Structure 1
Amino acid sequence: MNNNIRALFFDIDGTLVSFSTHRIPDSTVSALEQAKHNGVKIYISTGRPVSLIVNLSQIDSLIDGYVSTNGAYCFVGNDVVSCSSMLRHDVDVILSACEEWRVPAVVVGTDKIAVFQEDGSIDKAFRVGLGINNVVFSPLDEVLEGPILQLTPFFSPEQEALVMPRLEACTSGRWTPAFTDITSVKADKGLGLRAMAAHEGLAIGQTMAFGDGGNDIPILRTAGVGVAMGNAGEEVKAVAGYVTTSVDEDGVMNALRHFHVI
């Protein structure tokens, strides 16, 4: 067993959960159970806001904490480790661009989410692409009254490139061609890992992170060991220390065995 790795950080979609089955492969569940038995802590690192983390029932009992909303909201149990909201100026610029280009966006508050200009794209992306059904959205005005942790506009890469220079303090993490997740520059998955490690008394060298999307690049660079899934894009694989097989080909189990975590 590798006694140096004490904490594992997992992206959800395309890493823990298969895009084809919308479930966690049995081999991954078994591997995480073995890691937990060996004393290794397990954390989630996802672009999903808390209210959309609905597909981890197979491993709920194994999870020690969450880096959610691309690092904008990190927590362990009832303890908030970090929370980073966006500048109101940047929120207004993004929503104005959405209005101009007639594209929808998901607006993420601290405990509620809303939609802006839904045209069917959000429902298709969530229900068909991610297997999320029966999402409860709050009124937009109600969510905009409070801090905004993330905006997910359905910008093309070209539209994203036009908007980002107009923002004062934001970062963008794209993990699908359909949309991008925009958060405060103080929030990404790598910063979330650092905050979680400090809170949990972990050295960065004791952490291993898994991911497959562009929003995983910061955490793969930050972790002691960064593992890209075989189904990851080339830009993600390029920053990883190790590339495993795909989510549907026992990728998590194979990597944990490779590094003797299990």
Structure 2
Amino acid sequence: MKRSLFFDIDGTLVSFTNHKIPESAIYGLTLAKENGADIYIATGRPYGLINNIEEIKHLVDGYITANGAYCFSGKQVISCCPIPMDQVTSVIEQSDKMGFACMIVGEQDIMMYNNNPVADHIFKDMLNVQDLQESTSLQTILGQGILQLTPVVTPKEEQAILPLLSNVISSRWCPEFIDITAKGVDKAKGMKDMIAWQGIPLSQTVAFGDGGNDLPMIREAKIGVVMGNASQTVKAAADHVTNTVDDDGLYQALKYLKVI
């Protein structure tokens, strides 16, 4: 049976340790493509911050980005789901009031609002994103649809912010921040939008992930594969748990599923 494979990036395709795709994963994905599999990216990163999959970009059939808020294949935009602007301004007001940094992801631009050393460390050191586009003005980005907000907040601060909002959802795939998208917008929606546009039956979908934001996709896909570096909560949702990203987990999962 043909398989349509949906891959998270950080912690699934790419190591948090060296910010690279393991050679075994590159080899496995190449074989999967040769065997007729479709390959899709499903990430919390906006497309402009996808800087770590160059070795496999030629294999990718489509992208689910910003946790499902912006999905495309080639030059075809499949879905675009901005956050209501009153919710955006509410988060910005809380950023000013509470002093947290917040990445604002627009349809064209990205900016880090109220940047601070904590956000710098997370994005530049942990995620290897060096250009946070701090020169983009707030006025410029608020003239666009806002796809995602990423406040750098603790769980306690998150509990203070979310009751002030409506018509949004949040997910946390890194302990230091949350991603906020419009209500109902997550990786599962992105996957469903993608397969509907491509004419792919749900029965041939396999989703691979390791973070809390992967849970909707892991649960929705016919088969959900979770990496060994995931939390116990994420592993509990899996149909199959493989090794960590650094221990050839992706390659082993593709072998286990007989994709390669």
* Interval containing the TM-score (normalised by the shorter chain): over 0.9
Match of 2:26 among 26, 29, 32: 29
In structure 2, distance between residues paired with 1:142 and 1:12 = 29
Partner secondary structure for residue 122 of structure 1 = helix
Name the structure 2 match of 1:49.
Answer: 46
Name the structure 2 match of 1:84.
Answer: 81
Amino acid paired to 1:50: Y
* Deviation sequence 1:203-232 (CA, Å, 0-9, x none): 111100110111001100111111110000
> TM-score, normalising length from structure 2?
0.97
Say if 1:50 and 1:111, in contact at 8 Å, map to a contact too. Answer: no
Name the structure 1 match of 2:124.
Answer: 127
Per the TM alignment, residue 145 of structure 1 is displaced from its structure 2 partner at its CA by 1.4
Partner secondary structure for residue 63 of structure 2 = strand
In structure 2, distance between residues paired with 1:207 and 1:201 = 12
In structure 2, distance between residues paired with 1:106 and 1:177 = 16
Unaligned runs of 5+ in 2: none
Per the TM alignment, residue 99 of structure 1 is displaced from its structure 2 partner at its CA by 1.5
Per the TM alignment, residue 58 of structure 1 is displaced from its structure 2 partner at its CA by 0.7
Match of 1:148 among 142, 146, 149: 146
Partner secondary structure for residue 54 of structure 2 = coil
Per the TM alignment, residue 121 of structure 1 is displaced from its structure 2 partner at its CA by 2.2
Match of 2:213 among 212, 215, 233: 215
Count of matched residue positions in the alignment of Structure 1 and Structure 2: 259
In structure 2, distance between residues paired with 1:185 and 1:134 = 28
Per the TM alignment, residue 191 of structure 1 is displaced from its structure 2 partner at its CA by 0.4
Name the structure 1 match of 2:162.
Answer: 164
> TM-score, normalising length from structure 1?
0.96
Name the structure 2 match of 1:187.
Answer: 185
Name the structure 2 match of 1:197.
Answer: 195
Per the TM alignment, residue 119 of structure 1 is displaced from its structure 2 partner at its CA by 1.2
Partner secondary structure for residue 182 of structure 1 = strand
Name the structure 2 match of 1:17.
Answer: 14
Amino acid paired to 2:173: W
In structure 2, distance between residues paired with 1:222 and 1:61 = 26
Note the aligned Cα RMSD (angstroms).
1.0
In structure 2, distance between residues paired with 1:109 and 1:176 = 21
* Deviation sequence 1:79-107 (CA, Å, 0-9, x none): 00000000112112211222121111000
Partner secondary structure for residue 59 of structure 1 = helix
2:223 counterpart of 1:225: yes
In structure 2, distance between residues paired with 1:219 and 1:185 = 16
Name the structure 1 match of 2:137.
Answer: 139
Name the structure 2 match of 1:108.
Answer: 105
Partner secondary structure for residue 155 of structure 1 = coil
In structure 2, distance between residues paired with 1:234 and 1:171 = 22
Unaligned runs of 5+ in 1: none
Amino acid paired to 1:184: A
In structure 2, distance between residues paired with 1:119 and 1:222 = 37
In structure 1, distance between residues paired with 2:250 and 2:112 = 33
Matches within 5 A, 1:232-247: 232-247=230-245
